[in-house]
Amino acid sequence: MKKIFTYLAIILGVIVLDQLSKGYLLYLLTGGVPVFGGAWDLVPVPYLMDQVTNFFNVVFTWNPGASFSLFRGLGEAAPIVIVIFTGAIVGFIGHYLFCRACPYERVPLALIMGGAIGNLIDRVRFGAVIDFLDFHIGGIHWPAFNVADTCIAVGVGLYILNWYLNRRRCMAACQTKGDK
């Protein structure tokens, strides 16, 4: 039971950090933190807030689609489809995390789930996700992202790394048992 609270704390920590960072940016731009509203009615985009280094800017932009512009062709139904799809994924990850996951899978899954919920909150509140971290080399920009996206990417990377390392250990153990 104690471990469940550890993973819930990770999920909640990701959500809080993500929403605080986005809320602070909204506050800087609008003078308040709106609870709900149409994304483009609140802040026009894109908006360059600060050039931090030669390769990093803080920008403000809305992402109405999913990763890599998935569901863009659905038009006005896209936000509803994305919310339902994301909710289903969060439900699946939550069930797997708390009912079936191996110990090495739990922290990465908690990071992924927290990031997904953080972005889901934006979609429900505004119809789009707030992105603000902009890395670039010269005029070539990586798509802007946020804290939730970072946690999802780190979680996926850790999940794959842990899967690979544990897979190798299991294969080595099976080979050793077969030799005896």
Active site residues: 131, 149
**93 is written with which tokens?**
């990850």
CA 57/CA 135 separation, integer angstroms: 6
b (16+ CB within 10 A) / e for 79-93: beebeeebeeebeeb
Q: What type of residue sits at position 51?
A: Q
Cα angle 92, 119, 150; round to 5: 95
SS3 124: helix
The torsion angles phi and psi of 22, rounded to 5 degrees, stand at -70, -40
121/15 Cα distance (integer angstroms): 9
CB 33 within 8 A of CB 111: no
